[in-house]
Amino acid sequence: MRFQSVTDKRGAACGWVLAISVVFWGLSASCVGEPAETLTGEQRVSHVLDRLALGASLGGVEGVDEAGWEAWVRGQLEPGGIENGACDAYVQEHFPSLMMTMDQVWAAYDPPYENDPPTREEIDRRDRLRYELSQELVGSVIYRAVFSERRFEEVMAEFWRNHFNVDHNKDEVRFLAAHYEQTVIRRHQFGKFSDMLLASARHPAMLIYLDNDVSQKPLTDREKRMLVRYEGRKYQPRSVSALGRQRGLNENYARELMELHTLGVANENRKGGYSQRDVTELARLLTGWTAGRPRGETVGYGFRFRKEVHDDNRKRVLGMSFDGRAGEAGGVRFIHALGEHEQTARFISLKLCRYLVNDDPPGELVDEVAEVFEQTGGDLTKVYEAILFSDAFMDPVNYRAKFRTPFEFVVASLRVTGAKVTGFGGTREALRKMGQPVYGCVDPTGYDDAAEAWLDPGVLVYRWDFALRLTRGAVPGVRVPGAFWGGLPKGDPAGLKRALAEGLLAEGVGGEGWDGLDRALGEKPEAKRAAGLMLGSPMFQEQ
Amino acid sequence: MGTTRRQFMKRTGTLALGAAGLGALGTRAVFGAGDGGTVGKPTLVVLYLRGGSDPLNALIPYGERTYYNMRPTIAVPGPGEGNKRNQVIALNDYFGFHPSMAGLARLYKKGLMAPIVNAGSTHPTRSHFDAQDFMERAAPGVKSVTEGWLNRFLYMTKGGDDSDLRAVSFQPVLPRSLRGQYPALAVPDENTQKAAGAFAGLYGCDDAKATAKAQASSGQDKPGVGGDESGRATGRGRIIDAGAQGIVRLGRLNEVLSSEKLVSGGDYPKTQLGGQFRDIAKLIKAGAGLEVAAIDYNGWDHHAMQGASYGVFSEMMGNVSDTIEAFVEDLGPMIDRTVVLTMSEFGRTARENGNSGSDHGHGGYMLAVGGPINGGRFYGKWTGLSSRSLYEGRDLPVHTDFRDVFAEILSGLYGFQADEHQFFPEYDANDKPIGLVKV
């Protein structure tokens, strides 16, 4: 009983651990065995692979044990130094939209109709292109998560695309999301947090997803009176009808920028908190930040500051003042400050520790990491380093303490079986059913990052279904290769079980829960079914 | 809209719609109990309209001129203006329903449906995240309670002979209101039955000893409890438990839904929502012990182009209305033991924004449907749309705390007295009966 015994042993060894290990149940159970104060070498390797590599891959531990896990992690913290040619070549060949500018995507995947009205063929072609584009985006995410050599880069990309969530099903975001993935998430995730924040704030995908694109300076009282005066009249001066078309403020982005992206929810004692007034003032400060769209052949897709809809009045947000001349630079100045705010340091550190260490990370760890964040001005590589080389990361209480999200489960399954992937429809659909479609979270919150959210009785069924279909070769576009099945012993049920368990499960034969699994496999297990059962077993849902 | 009426409204200013205090709610007998067992337990169906559904275009104060002034592009024409299909369905001389709500209006007229105006959470947050979370846990501003309100109710009233299908959500992931210690079922789609069968042994389901062992080894003393006190923990036992619960319940669910004896009687729209309500009706009609069902309907955050009589809001509202009407028809007499309750995390700004939409607001609305509901009238306190009566000068106020509605439904339907169980953290509800549920 790994969870329990580890915790109990720690508890027996040093009482203070009890205070921080509240996430574990069964603390009151009797203590047995010797104190296990540290993880074994094998456990360390397995922990690093699960948490920092999205699972072990078939037949190898990618140098984690050879070099020592610390050296491996240091290498992964500088992904640019890791040779990744095969993966890059595949991405370029199969997901061309990932390498394009937004204008190129638009031209290639939304070609203008030549006939007016368009023919059935033209319409079908456009629909097909749209589907392909969406498939490239989702496929690229899954492909890189499974096959990139830069393992930790993929782990963090998953974190940040969830943190700065955009739903590619909204409006034009489908044409912009690939560029967003490349230039906001991947470009900045080992740099400064405030740079990523600013990049997200200025990207058309975010501007459209959270409506800042349509937020404009509110009407003045005088303008409102004008509108009321002419209301219902047949003839209005042109200036008044122009006012009538003018859009007003839209607070959606301003609010989420503070609540979800940086400061966190305003807390009761108002420390680092913000008010409704701050939200409104920030929305005014960001008026004019819009998504530029192609017009003619000169101006392409990108950020565009539209002075004519920017609110030039004085604003005051979180104690910072902006006069009428601040313009676009005012917003940049504010976002930069927001990205380095004390409360932001704390909120981002908490989320990262929750992701990398434990759903309920120790407060001391979060404090330490937040301090590094503040001292380095939000240098994300330094922040990751602080977490990964903390005592807490390798603390036995955090070993296999997290329930895999559907994404983590699917990717780990494909990796550990060495699956050949030629299409992404099957995995994409499986993730949708498990409740975690890629780039498909409607809410700006992103997916819930605590295990609780994924532990519903019904949803496990989809994992089992996926596990059995994967090993049986019934997930479209995915095949578990001969290399996986080839080496298995024949006519030796016990040997087969042992070989499969050692390949697929972190603890191999004899780990916690093995007896139950052994029974479920039966006397004469068939290899594909046995492998499927292992992937769907409780052990494989942990990391 | 007659000018006279508008002037009248203007003079009176405040309009108290709910005749509160129709007698205190007693601890009356539970519906269905001691009933000869011909029908099952009462059922509560919670429909969550995620995103902040716009109250003013659902329950429309067409008698108020200000409504039209505040919403130049998204107001719905009053009765007598425009054609029948795009005008407000007047239910009294001041309020009416959105034209897409014809089905609900018919239920209203039959006394089976009641809207509540200015209802919601008194907490000032305008964040989806917080507001949904607070409402689903029925604990605004209190973060220490981690379990959903429906789950807490189920857990507090659990019995040894609870049906495997006592609490079901017809969607892959449970809404937060149903998350917690009590094992509610999130329903995956068909075709997964085989997988569930294959894993029965591994998750301790076809071997009593294995189940007991799994539970013992995970430190559990009973199925369904695998977390720490905060209910947030993960752990091997919790995973096994979730799997086992799923297998048993899905087997039973499948049995019921595939029964040929059950014929669906309602004209459900061919939408996901329609299908979900059809399945709920099947469980109710089969007497499968369903007490709580919860469904999420996403996408009500209409910041732009929400439409007036037509458009995205209209389509979604029409889907809700048509679905519920079909559901009522399908249930027949069983509607006497069934309540559908809709809610949303907050209302929206009274004024439209610059994009023919509306922004996050405060006071919202709720709709209650079913035999146990004192229908055919509006509930809640209406205080008009003048800047002074609006919350922070921009949103509808909250005059009916959503917890009061929850409390009354739990009391009226199940005889569960929330306050006696300190059900709402830092809040007592029952001293303000609304009169929504028949006594």
More confident residue, A449 or B391: B391
CA triplet B341, B343, B346: central angle to 5 degrees? Answer: 165
B255 pLDDT higher than 90: no
| Residue B149 token pair | 């309100």
**Enclosing H/E stretch for B47:** strand B43-49
What is the C-alpha separation between B346 and B361, in angstroms, rounded?
A: 6
Domains within chain B, CATH numbers bracketed:
3-186+265-421 (3.40.720)
Contact A240, A328 (CB under 8 A): no
User: What is the nearest CA distance from B8 to chain A, expressed in angstroms?
Assistant: 23
Q: Is the pLDDT of residue A159 over 90?
A: yes
Which residues lie closer than 8 Å to B168 by C-beta, 6 or more apart? B184, B185, B187, B249, B253, B280, B283, B290, B292, B293
Quick one: average pLDDT of A456-472? 88
Cis peptide before A117 (omega within 30 of 0): yes
Could you tell me which of B320, B392, B313 has the C-alpha nearest to residue B356?
A: B313
B141, B232, B392 ranked by CB distance to A450: nearest? B232
Closest CB to A451: pick one of B173, B234, B236. B234
Residue ranges of B 152-211 with Cβ closer than 8 A to chain A: 169, 172-174, 179, 183-189, 191-192, 194-196, 198-199, 201-204, 207, 210
* Mean pLDDT of all residues in A19-35: 37
Q: With contacts defined as CB-CB under 8 Å, which chain B residues touch A529? A: 198
- State mean pLDDT over A333-340: 97
Q: Which residues pair with A322 in a beta bridge?
A: A315
Chain A, nearest residue to B126 by Cα: A276
Q: Residue B40's pLDDT band (boundaries 50, 70, 90)?
A: low
Q: Which residues of A touch B199 (CB under 8 A)?
A: 464, 520, 533, 536
- Give the integer Cα–Cα distance in Å for A307 and A167: 28
pLDDT score of A29 more than 50: no
Using DSSP, state whether A462 is helix, strand or coil: helix
Tell me the pairing of strands B185-186 and B167-169: parallel
Looking at residue A515, its pLDDT comes to 87
Of A23, A265, A517, which has the smallest distance from its Cβ to B233's Cβ? Answer: A23
Contacts (Cβ under 8 Å, ≥6 apart) of A152: A52, A53, A73, A76, A77, A79, A384
Q: Which two tokens stand for residue B437?
A: 């549920």
Which residues in chain A are closer than 8 Å to B218, comparing Cβ atoms?
1, 3-4, 25-26
Tens of pLDDT, residue by residue over A103-137, are 999 889 988 888 877 888 888 898 899 999 999 99
Contacts of B214 in chain A (CB under 8 A): 516
What average pLDDT score do residues B374-391 get? 94
Pairs across A and B, CB distance < 8 A: 231
Q: Are the CB atoms for A65 and A424 separated by under 8 Å?
A: no
Reference B25, options B327, B338, B430; nearest CA is: B430
B356: nearest Cα among B105, B153, B75, B144: B75
3-state secondary structure of A252: helix
Chain centroid, CA B68 distance in Å: 29
Report yes or no: B130 at the A interface, CB cutoff 8 Å: yes
* Min distance A81 CA to chain B CA atoms (Å): 36
Nearby residues of B40 by Cβ (< 8 Å), 6 or more positions away: B32, B284, B287, B288, B289, B290, B337
Query: In this structure, are strands B185-186 and B292-297 parallel, antiparallel, or unpaired?
Result: unpaired
The predicted pLDDT at position B15 comes to: 38
The residue behind tokens 């009053």 is: B78
Compute the C-alpha angle B407/B419/B231, nearest 5°. Answer: 85
| Mean pLDDT of the region B177-200 | 83
CA distances (Å), B120 to each of A81, B16, B112, in order? 54, 17, 22
- Is it the case that residue A26 has pLDDT exceeding 50? no
Q: Which of A356-370, A452-466, B67-81, B379-393 has the lowest mean pLDDT?
A: A452-466
CA nearest B126: which of A63, A366, A250, A330? A250
Average pLDDT value for residue range A32-51: 81
What are the tens digits of pLDDT across the range A64-115? 876 689 999 999 999 999 999 999 999 999 999 999 999 999 889 988 888 8
Q: A514 and B179 in contact (C-beta within 8 Å)?
A: no
pLDDT band at A334 (very low <50, low <70, confident <90, very high): very high
pLDDT at B430: 64
Q: How far apart are the first and last CA of chain B?
A: 36
Residue/partner pairs of A141-145 with CB below 8 Å, 24 or more apart: A141/A181, A141/A438, A141/A439, A142/A410, A142/A411, A142/A414, A142/A421, A142/A424, A142/A427, A142/A428, A142/A438, A143/A87, A143/A90, A143/A91, A143/A94, A143/A95, A143/A421, A143/A424, A144/A87, A144/A91, A145/A54, A145/A407, A145/A411
Question: How much is the ipTM here?
Answer: 0.82
Both structure tokens of B142: 């209190």
Where in A231-272 does DSSP place strands (E)?
Answer: none
Give yes or no for residue B222 having a pLDDT over 80: no
Q: Are A18 and A28 in contact (CB under 8 A)?
A: no
Structural domain boundaries of chain A?
1-37, 40-73+401-541, 77-191, 342-398
Chain B residues close to A26, C-beta within 8 Å: 218-219, 235, 237
Could you tell me the pLDDT band of residue A60, with boundaries at 50, 70 and 90?
low
Q: Highest-confidence range of A215-229, A450-464, B145-159, B247-261, by mean pLDDT?
A: B145-159
Question: B247 contacts in A (CB within 8 Å)?
Answer: 461
Confidence of residue B7 (pLDDT cuts 50, 70, 90): very low
- Asked if B354's CB is within 8 angstroms of A250's CB, the reply is yes
- The total of other beta-carbon atoms located within 10 Å of residue B171's CB is 22
What integer best gives the mean pLDDT of chain B? Answer: 83
Token pair 């924004």 in the structure block, residue: B353
Nearest residue to B98 (alpha-carbon basis) of B64, B68, B56, B48 = B56
So what's the pLDDT on residue A21?
A: 34
Query: Nearest-CA distance from A475 to chain B in Å?
Result: 14
Task: Indicate the pLDDT class of residue A61, thresholds 50, 70 and 90.
Answer: low
- pLDDT at residue A330 in the model: 97
Whether A268 and B298 lie within 8 Å, measured CB to CB: no
Tokens of A354: 């929750």
Whether A516 and B234 lie within 8 Å, measured CB to CB: no
Tell me the per-residue pLDDT of A337-385, one tens digit each, with 9 for 90 and over.
Answer: 999 999 999 999 999 999 999 999 999 999 999 999 999 999 999 999 9
Nearest CA in chain B to A255: B127
- In this prediction, residue B323 carries a pLDDT of 98
The amino acid at A140: S
Q: What are phi and psi of A244, to 5 degrees?
A: -60, -30
Exposed, middle or buried: residue A297 (CB in 10 Å: 0-12, 13-18, 19+)?
A: exposed
Which of A216, A443, A516 is closest, CB to CB, to B214?
A516
Find the CB nearest A214 among B126, B242, B304: B304
3-state secondary structure of A518: helix
**CB of B18 closer than 8 Å to CB of B365:** no
Residue B191: closest C-alpha in chain A: A465
Contact B214 A215 (CB under 8 A): no
User: Where would I find the H helices in B162-297?
Assistant: 193-198, 208-217, 236-257, 272-285
Residues of chain B with pLDDT > 70, as a percent, come to 83
Q: What's the mean pLDDT when you consider all of chain A?
A: 87
Q: Which of B109, B108, B25 is nearest to B434 (CA)?
A: B25
Q: Tell me how far apart the alpha carbons of residues A538 and A421 are, in angstroms, rounded to a whole number.
A: 25
Q: In what order do the strands lie in the sheet with B338-343?
A: B185-186, B167-169, B292-297, B43-49, B338-343, B364-370, B113-120, B400-401
* Interchain pair A403, B141: CB under 8 A: no
Supply φ then ψ for residue B48, to 5 degrees: -100, 120
Rounded CA-CA distance B89/B97 in Å is: 5
Tokens coding B254: 């499948």
